[in-house]
Amino acid sequence: MNYLEKANLWKNNPNLDSALKKELNAMDDKALQEAFTTDLEFGTGGLRGILGAGTNRMNIYIVSKATLGFGRYLSKFKEAFKRGVAIAHDNRHQSKEFARISAEVLTTLGFHVYLFEELRPTPELSYAVRHFGCVGGIMITASHNPKEYNGYKIYDGSGCQLVPKEADQVIAEINKIEDYFAIDHSKNHDNIEYIGREVDEVYMNEVKKIVLRPNLDKDFKLVYTPLHGTGQVFAPEVLKSVGYDVYPLACQMTNDPDFSGVKTSNPENKEAYDEAIAYAKEIGAKIVLATDPDADRLGIAVEHQGEYILFTGNQTASLVLDYILKTRKELNILPKDGYVFTTNVSSTLPIAIAEKYGMQVEITLTGFKFIGEKAREMESGKGTYVFGFEESYGCLVSDFVRDKDSIQAILMLCETAAYYREKGMDLVEALQAIYEEYGYYKEGITNISLQGLAGAAKIQRIMDYFRTKEITLKNFEILLKDDIKLSVKKDYKKNTTENICLPKSNVIKYYLNDNMWFVLRPSGTEPKLKVYYGVVGKTEEEAKAKLQELTDEVLAIVHTID
């Protein structure tokens, strides 16, 4: 069925939602192609797309279809209907409606549903799945994407996002559904159990258990912003309850689906901090904390010599991990069988830190579901979970949650700051001390935005080029190449190949001399190609120069590809 046939199927449906019908009738041919040529697919963060009419858009029909497929998949597990499904949502347009419809589809199938009455963070949804002993979970969110987007994450019974082998089974069930307009969600609504503050309390109590040094002085001001998202539910309350002097940014502490009080809802972007930093300067705050709309990621800015310095996710993770391991060793609670988990696009500095303290390190693909899966493996007696992180501002301190958790990250980051403050250092100086010990690790990322069908095709051509051509770099020696899609590692020194034991994914990583690297990876949630870089230098200046050289050389190759 081509895009026009699919569009006409929607147009001719007498029961089509009136708002979607109006939008559909206003579409020109190009818009119809974008909305109907492909179907919205599961990526690293589940479903995520622009709100609107069409099979390639987020709307009530696509959500109903996904939920019916997910429900049929879950129904195969023991006592699935009785165990039930937990559902939460963020502050976005239609999030509450998508959560409600998901709940109704599941109750019609016979499931008990635990539905949060109001917006809640992603990590609490992960916790709720385990707290209630559910068979699965659903989080309605598009994380940090612009306001035009919404999304749909699915969780297994351990509170972990589904890994590919499990998601493929859900997708197979979804693909069996032909008429998503006929999906019934009218029955058994009494099986929806609304939840809220009672779960909040037990979740917050678990979060506060991660504190290592409860008696540190906390005599410094913090500014916090949820960027209009779900972090407003917990972050200020948790910080205040353990003694921190936190000042929420009132104009961004509102449930606003248009994100009207911020320039961007993504804490990876410096513009997200403009208003919060202005407030921090006004009141003399030492740290600015920003969580993304579903509150699974944390970004920070640190006052240093009168300026506010933004930290990357890699830098924050390095600081927090170093503090955790150092403190656990001093308190004699560092496990001998400890594991630290990271991803293949993240800094290698935390690996060096972990290895210094005798921790085992495992590297996964991008997507915190893979770290959640590793945490689950620890239950079999393999080892003790200590820390997990990915470069995109996400980490997990304690694995009572099986997804990244900004509320935990906030608490541990502030404790790290308090620890160094007692030593007369701010976090910029603390990070500098780590660099002086381990070397100057510096990372970068280039986001190449390529919209629509033409953009997707170009991303594929770029990946095919690097997959099939032998490239050379002027100032760097290529030692190894991982092609995760083909499951092959090539050793250029030995001229040999070997298999890679990772799930297949369209990712290519090059390992260079002196512990440097770069990775090409199409985003699983946005229409862009991501290029990641990592270098190490003896000085900060040397690292900066190497990063610029590597970025320029790689992009020069990318830009030659039509």
Q: What DSSP state is assigned to residue 360? A: E
Q: How many residues are recorded in the chain?
A: 562
- Of 272, 257, 263, 271, the residue nearest 225 (C-alpha): 272
Phi-psi category of residue 295: left, alpha or beta, with phi > 0 → left and psi -120 to 50 → alpha: left
Sorted by sequence, the CB contacts under 8 Å of residue 339 that are 6+ apart come out as 359, 360, 361, 362, 374, 378, 382, 383, 384, 385, 386
143 is catalytic: yes
Q: What DSSP state is assigned to residue 277? A: H
Tokens encoding 313: 């996710």
Angle at 248 between CA 201 and CA 271, to 5 degrees: 120
- To the nearest 10 degrees (0 to 180), the angle between helices 406-422 and 197-208 is 40
Q: Evaluate the CA torsion angle 152, 158, 162, 166 in order and state its sign.
A: negative
**Alpha-carbon torsion, ordered 72, 74, 76, 77, to 10 deg:** -170
> What whole-number distance in Å separates Cα of residue 375 and Cα of residue 362?
11
> What whole-number distance in Å separates Cα of residue 499 and Cα of residue 363?
16
Residue matched to tokens 């404790």? 415
Largest separation between any pair of C-alpha atoms in the chain: 70
One DSSP character per residue, 4-44 reads HHHHHHHHT-TT--HHHHHHHHT--HHHHHHHHSS----BT
Other Cβ atoms less than 10 A from the Cβ of 155: the count is 30
> What whole-number distance in Å separates Cα of residue 532 and Cα of residue 443?
7
Sorted by sequence, the CB contacts under 8 Å of residue 314 that are 6+ apart come out as 346, 347, 349, 350, 391, 441, 443
Q: In what order do the strands lie in the sheet with 338-343?
A: 360-364, 338-343, 384-390, 394-396
Tokens encoding 291: 């969580």
Question: Per the residue annotation, which of 64, 102, 143, 392 is the catalytic one?
Answer: 143
Q: Which residues does the annotation mark as catalytic?
A: 143
